[in-house]
Amino acid sequence: MRAAAIQLNARIADVDANLEAVERLADQAGSEGAECVALPEFFTTGIGFVPELADAALSPDGEATELLRSLAQRHGALVGGSFLCRDDDGEVRNAFLLATPDGEIAGRHDKDLPTMWENGFYVGGHDDGVIETGDLTVGAAVCWELMRTQTVRRLAGRIDLALTGSGWWSVPQSWPPRALMSRAEAGNRALARRAAQQFAPFVGAPVVHAAHCGLLQCANPWSPLPYDGHFEGWTMICDASGRVLAGRAAEQGEGVVTAEIEPGRVTPKWRAPDRFWLHRRGAIAAFTWWYQRLWGQRYYPEHVSGRPARGTRERIPA
């Protein structure tokens, strides 16, 4: 199977511009013979602490879903990615949808836990991320789900192909003390690549991983210091052993990577450790994970929950 993964330089909260960019890049992948295309997490909006995201969530059958179905049918390919999705209960979830070559949606996976400031914009899900497409069993995992042992436990040995995507941002280099931040960012950058690459031998299947690139500037929750950084990129395609078949660093910008893969499950090379986190986090990431979860528990109910989906006029009851 020829697989493709997209690296996107999104315009934060600009749904129309991002859908247009995704369609252009996916068409490029299709023209190169891709039978499977992975889109990054938040492919409709990008991600950051940007209040406009509260009004950028789409309905489950809205523009993002229609684009996935259209691209899949147009190119005879599996096409999947996640976006901010406002469900009928008024809650927003980070929903990965997978479309099949006949233009149907094979299944959905909701990211289990929001990461850091994401807590202000959606709630987590509880499904196992296993999606049946007929010929293949696909496992969906989104960004820091690649960091958690519970993701490996629900997918290992059960899938023929993992479609994953991230919106992984950097440690800001402008914050003091700069020497500490520089060291933290070096570790963060390496972790962004390692988490995607090493997911394959943990689950025993090839991995097609899409990502974001580009600069990000926004406010920072409960902090006088603004965020000034970038997305880590590392779009890649790996075989089941974790060997990188094709990759694209953030510095290479927006684009498409393609490679031939052999879908199919093998005995996982590695077992998940007996702890919550699959990979060790640094102190800065651990602290930010904790305090921004607290912030999000206050911000989300007041600013996001219960709003109508983009393109609808009636308010959805909370």
Q: Indicate the pLDDT class of residue 139, thresholds 50, 70 and 90.
A: very high
When pLDDT is averaged across residues 225-248 and rounded to a whole number, the result is: 97
Tell me what pLDDT residue 316 has: 39
- Per-residue model confidence as pLDDT tens digits over 203-213: 999 999 999 99
Specify if 106 maps to a domain.
yes
- Per-residue model confidence as pLDDT tens digits over 245-298: 999 999 999 999 999 999 999 999 999 999 999 999 889 999 999 999 999 999
Tell me what pLDDT residue 35 has: 98
Specify if 316 maps to a domain.
no
Specify if 310 maps to a domain.
no
Distance CA 278, CA 141 (A): 14
Distance CA 255, CA 253 (A): 6
Q: Is a pLDDT exceeding 60 seen at residue 114?
A: yes
When pLDDT is averaged across residues 161-168 and rounded to a whole number, the result is: 98
Q: H/E/C letters for each residue in 56-116?
A: CCECCCCHHHHHHHHHHHHHCCEEEEEEEEECCCCCEEEEEEEECCCCCEEEEEECCCCCH
Left, alpha or beta for 204 (phi > 0: left; psi -120 to 50: alpha)?
left
Tell me what pLDDT residue 298 has: 96
Specify if 315 maps to a domain.
no
Report pTM.
Answer: 0.96
In contact, 147 and 168? CB cutoff 8 Å: no
Q: Which of 9-13, 26-30, 146-150, 222-226 has the lowest mean pLDDT?
A: 222-226
Determine the distance from the C-alpha atom of residue 109 to the mean position of all C-alpha atoms in its chain, rounded to a whole number: 11
Tell me the pLDDT of the chain averaged across its residues: 96
Q: Is a pLDDT exceeding 80 seen at residue 312?
A: no
When pLDDT is averaged across residues 112-135 and rounded to a whole number, the result is: 97
Beta bridge partners of 40: none
Task: Please report, for the domain that includes residue 210, its CATH number.
Answer: 3.60.110.10
Q: Is a pLDDT exceeding 80 seen at residue 317?
A: no
In contact, 228 and 217? CB cutoff 8 Å: yes
In contact, 65 and 76? CB cutoff 8 Å: no
Number of domains in the chain: 1
Tell me what pLDDT residue 55 has: 97
Q: Indicate the pLDDT class of residue 315, thresholds 50, 70 and 90.
A: very low
Tell me what pLDDT residue 311 has: 82
Q: Indicate the pLDDT class of residue 174, thresholds 50, 70 and 90.
A: confident
When pLDDT is averaged across residues 43-69 and rounded to a whole number, the result is: 97
Specify if 248 maps to a domain.
yes
Domain extent at residue 120: 2-303
In this structure, what DSSP letter does residue 157 have?
T
Specify if 309 maps to a domain.
no
In contact, 261 and 241? CB cutoff 8 Å: no
When pLDDT is averaged across residues 219-242 and rounded to a whole number, the result is: 96
Specify if 312 maps to a domain.
no
Token pair of 72, please? 């899949």
Specify if 314 maps to a domain.
no
Q: Is a pLDDT exceeding 80 seen at residue 309?
A: yes
Percentage, residues of the chain above pLDDT 90: 94
Tell me what pLDDT residue 173 has: 85
Q: Is a pLDDT exceeding 50 seen at residue 314?
A: no
Distance CA 127, CA 107 (A): 11
Beta bridge partners of 314: none
When pLDDT is averaged across residues 194-219 and rounded to a whole number, the result is: 97
Alpha helices in 176-264 (DSSP H): 178-197, 199-203
Q: Which own/partner pairs from 287-294 qualify as long-range (CB within 8 Å, at least 24 positions apart)?
A: 288/116, 289/115, 289/116, 291/221, 291/222, 292/116, 292/117, 292/119, 292/120, 292/221, 292/222, 293/114, 293/116, 293/119
Residue 177, preceding bond cis, omega within 30 degrees? Answer: yes
Distance CA 159, CA 91 (A): 29
